[in-house]
Amino acid sequence: MRRFSLLALAIGTAGSAIAQTAPSASDIASYAGLHLAAHEGDVDEINRLIAAGADVDIRDRSQRTPAHIAGFASHDDALTALANGGADMNALENRAYDVLTIAAVADDPELVSLAMELGNAPDQITSVYDGTALIAAAHLGHHDVVARLVEGGAPLDHVNNLAWTALIEAVVLGDGGPDHIKTVQILVDAGADKSIGDSDGISPLQHAISRGYAEMVEILK
């Protein structure tokens, strides 16, 4: 009973989490300078403003830098221009997300790879859960992103403050469908530690068995 209660509490907490939030219409209406150029993907204006001495890491009211805005808008060229202009690619906004985790949640593999190429560390701790971009992607079953992050050196066995790894999240917060099955396969093939359990010592395999996720069970055995 205690194990069920703790797990239910953790799942409920994860589901109601303060998630990353893209700029609202009112945010966008207030933008000027680099924030506006990043939102619009205007590389020429980004380069002009940086050359004129604009603060490349200026923050909006939610502590988003222009790089965050380019990430939310999926403007790869704008992000590259900002990074080339000295933007901090590991900056965190007010909900502790970086560009890499924004791209991971958006299921944007190309932006994930670009962010890492531009210096966004795949092992950075992000979100209110002290997680990583890999955990966020595994949670959502974004297997192409998971593969890119694994290739980029993301830590496979990081444990967040819910006591979950990427592998556990793919099982516990997944739906047992093809996307989460592929995610589990990628993590296991990469060497994720299948023996790490949650705060009650329940392993990913045990979670998969209890949910009737037969294909995951075969991968995790």
The count of other CB atoms within 10 Å of the CB of residue 218 is: 11
- Retrieve residue 27's tokens: 């945010």
Kindly list the domain boundaries of the chain, sorted by start residue. 125-221
Distance CA(11)–CA(162), nearest Å, equals 9
User: For residues 4 and 207, what is the distance between their CA atoms, to the nearest angstrom?
Assistant: 11
CATH architecture of 125-221: Alpha Horseshoe (1.25)
Give dist(CA 139, CA 147) in Å, integer: 14
Q: Which two tokens stand for residue 123?
A: 């092992």
Question: What is the DSSP secondary structure assignment for residue 23, as one 8-state letter?
Answer: P
Going 115 to 120 to 126 to 127, the CA torsion angle's sign is negative
pLDDT the model gives residue 20? 84
Written as tens digits, the pLDDT of the chain (221 aa) is 334 444 444 444 454 345 789 999 999 999 999 999 999 999 999 999 999 999 999 999 999 999 999 999 999 999 999 999 999 999 999 999 999 999 999 999 999 999 999 999 999 999 999 999 999 999 999 999 999 999 999 999 999 999 999 999 999 999 999 999 999 999 999 999 999 999 999 999 999 999 999 999 999 99
| Pair 170, 138: CB distance under 8 Å | yes
Contacts of 4 (CB under 8 A, 6+ apart): none
- The pLDDT of residue 19: 75
